[in-house]
Amino acid sequence: MFYNNFIMIKAILFDFDGTLADTAPDLGHALNRQRIARGLPELPLSKIRPQASAGSRGLLGLGFNIKPDDDQYELMREEFLDFYTQRLCHDTCLFPGINELLDQLDARKLPWGIVTNKPARFAHPLIEILGLAQRVGCVICGDDIRNTKPHPEPLLTASKKMDIDPAHCIYLGDDIRDVQASLAAGMQPIVARYGYLGSDQPPESWGARYLIDHPKELLAYL
């Protein structure tokens, strides 16, 4: 157990896409496959990264300027997810420094978990392939609960599963919704500034007290 401004930190929760894992290359490949099929040029990864945390909604908006209430959205979404399934973990990897950070958490006997809006059918295979399944204390996916982030329900569900009061948890994420969910759950948000940062607002304005540029910097707040 560790103290942060006199608050005992008993667990760390992580977002997945853009925080633990760099999934943008494979998500981008699925989107560009759709664009190529329609005679459109591929988008560079630099344009795809900021939308990767928003999943199919954000990426389809980027690639085709369509929204969930548009007529063709569901068909496009199913095609995108089908393409993504076919190449789920070709170029996806953990961000540099994540394995070392998790080693430190394990050495300190600090439990950690994953809370993501990503559907379980994608998240669990990736967690397994990336070697996290046997280490993680809790995984909450977007279809495990009724309300996804920025609602606090997924974070509160995770803290309940880990039997740790939300006030004693840190949540590390790379999206404004991660900060909003964390604050609403009574947790301490920290922004992974090395992640995708898919918001028009600068991360310094999201409401988190701390921001980090490398995973190892999280250790300073434990």
Residues designated catalytic = 15, 17
For residue 34, what is the enclosing H or E element? helix 24-37
Which segments of 38-128 are extended strands (E)? 93-94, 112-115
CA atoms within 13 A on the CB side of 177: 21
> Tokens standing for 189?
């948000």
- Tell me phi and psi for residue 65, to 5 degrees: 55, 45
| Contact between residue 198 and residue 54 where contact means Cβ atoms under 8 Å apart | yes
Which of the 8 DSSP states describes residue 68?
A: T
* SS3 call for 127: helix
> Tokens standing for 16?
């997945």
Spell out the residues 6+ positions from residue 98 whose beta carbon is closer than 8 angstroms to its own: 20, 21, 215
Give the separation between CA 178 and CA 168, rounded to whole angstroms. Answer: 17
| Contact between residue 158 and residue 132 where contact means Cβ atoms under 8 Å apart | no
**Is beta strand 169-173 parallel, antiparallel or unpaired with respect to 11-14?**
parallel
